[in-house]
Amino acid sequence: MKTVRVFAPASVANMGCGFDVMGFALDDIGDILEMTATDGEGIAITNRTDIPLPEDIEANVITPVIRKFFEMTGLSGHIDVSVCRKIFPGSGIGSSAASSAAAAFGMNELFGRPLSGDDLVVCAMEGENLASGGYHADNAAPALLGGIILIRGYEPLDLVRLPVPDDFYCTVVHPRIVVSTKAARDVLPKSVPMHDAVCQWGNVGGLVAGLYSGDIALVGRSMKDSVAEPYRKHFIPDFDDLREAALKAGAIAMNISGSGPSVFSLSADLETARKVGAVMREHFSEREIRSDIYVAKVASTGARPLEP
């Protein structure tokens, strides 16, 4: 019998222009799992948090991740999982990815690390598929590997670790409205007009170049989304006014975090990041929507073991 306790962080997907191909990890916010392997077969999941989670293990993202790990390694065992800390589902900061990443990472720790970090992302994507009906790694990859990750390609998975500028503060505001990833994906059209595609790939190139050169202004003006935001911004009350207020308060960019409803901004110093957070919270409270704020540097570390 072996037990591990593991953490995987929240993450911000898309980074504006990088729908399904870019994301970064956040410091300290995330999920904690305790996992025990014994002889035999089967999966049991116990929820030790006060966040409601599905009782049927087939509806929990952890289950397909464990199965994928066994499929990829040829190993077997009975796995007991205790969910000890959980990001609120539907918050838009990679709740399902944090569980999926922690489960994949924990399995690797339990069985002597047979898989690489990139292989663990493949396992974690099974959880993302259960949650949203699509194989995307823009939360799962940064949750496992930390930092800012570009998914250059999915077939095969080709992950690129991008440089994180030194002074890069993220403000995430989670308004207390629920938008499921599935609903936010269902609202997207199946094809993209050429003009929008041209804008998007110009911006993705600009964002990557800005991160490599440390040109924060270039990063900011590249974080524009012509593909998903026009269809999703209606989930967030008066989104355009919110962005205007955040930019006026000094943010270099403000976008929907993943599929929402959280929004995030990037700022070049901590003081501005806090000021932008206050302005965004004010926007929601004026509309009688409670919100939670997280201000953190982009985290360079992803999933990790904790002391038992």
**CA–CA separation, 82 vs 34, rounded Å?**
5
Q: Among the options 126, 181, 229, 272, which is catalytic?
A: 181
**CA–CA separation, 37 vs 77, rounded Å?**
6
Instruction: Specify whether 126 is catalytic.
Output: no
Of 23 and 210, the one with the shorter C-beta distance to ligand HSE is 23
Build a one-symbol-per-residue string for 228-257: x at contacts with ligand HSE by CB under 6 A, - elsewhere. x-----------------------------
Of 126 and 138, the one with the shorter C-beta distance to ligand HSE is 138
As measured in angstroms, the least distance from the Cβ of 41 to ligand HSE is: 32
What letter does residue 298 receive in the DSSP assignment?
B
Residue type, 216: I
Sorted by sequence, the CB contacts under 8 Å of residue 141 that are 6+ apart come out as: 23, 121, 149, 151, 159
Of 23 and 77, the one with the shorter C-beta distance to ligand HSE is 23
Do strands 78-85 and 42-47 pair parallel, antiparallel, or not at all (unpaired)? parallel
- Please select the residue that binds ligand HSE; options are 14, 200, 226, 265, rule is CB under 6 A: 14
**CA–CA separation, 239 vs 249, rounded Å?**
15
Of 4 and 228, the one with the shorter C-beta distance to ligand HSE is 228
> Helix axis angle, 95-110 relative to 62-73, nearest 10°?
40
Place of tokens 């911004």: 233
Token representation of residue 104: 């994949």
Token representation of residue 307: 């002391």
Q: What residue number has its CB nearest to ligand HSE?
A: 258
As measured in angstroms, the least distance from the Cβ of 137 to ligand HSE is: 9
Helix intervals (H) in the chain = 62-73, 95-110, 117-132, 140-145, 181-186, 194-213, 216-222, 229-232, 239-248, 270-286
Residue type, 139: N
Residue 265: strand pairing partners:
171, 254
Build a one-symbol-per-residue string for 32-61: x at contacts with ligand HSE by CB under 6 A, - elsewhere. ------------------------------
Question: Sign of the C-alpha dihedral, residues 250, 255, 211, 95?
Answer: positive
- Please select the residue that binds ligand HSE; options are 181, 222, 255, 262, rule is CB under 6 A: 181
Number of residues that bind ligand HSE (CB under 6 A): 13
Q: Can residue 258 be called a binding residue for ligand HSE (CB under 6 A)?
A: yes
Instruction: Specify whether 128 is catalytic.
Output: yes
Q: Which stretch binds ligand HSE (CB under 6 A): 54-62, 160-168, 181-189, 245-253?
A: 181-189
* Contacts of ligand HSE in 109-148 (CB under 6 A): 136, 138-139
Q: Can residue 99 be called a binding residue for ligand HSE (CB under 6 A)?
A: no
Q: Which stretch binds ligand HSE (CB under 6 A): 13-21, 40-48, 71-79, 167-175?
A: 13-21
Q: Among the options 109, 126, 128, 229, which is catalytic?
A: 128
As measured in angstroms, the least distance from the Cβ of 257 to ligand HSE is: 8
CB atoms within 10 A of CB 225: 21
Of 14 and 108, the one with the shorter C-beta distance to ligand HSE is 14
**CA–CA separation, 120 vs 107, rounded Å?**
9
Catalytic residues: 128, 181
- Binding stretches for ligand HSE (CB under 6 A): 13-14, 19-20, 136, 138-139, 181, 184-185, 228, 258-259
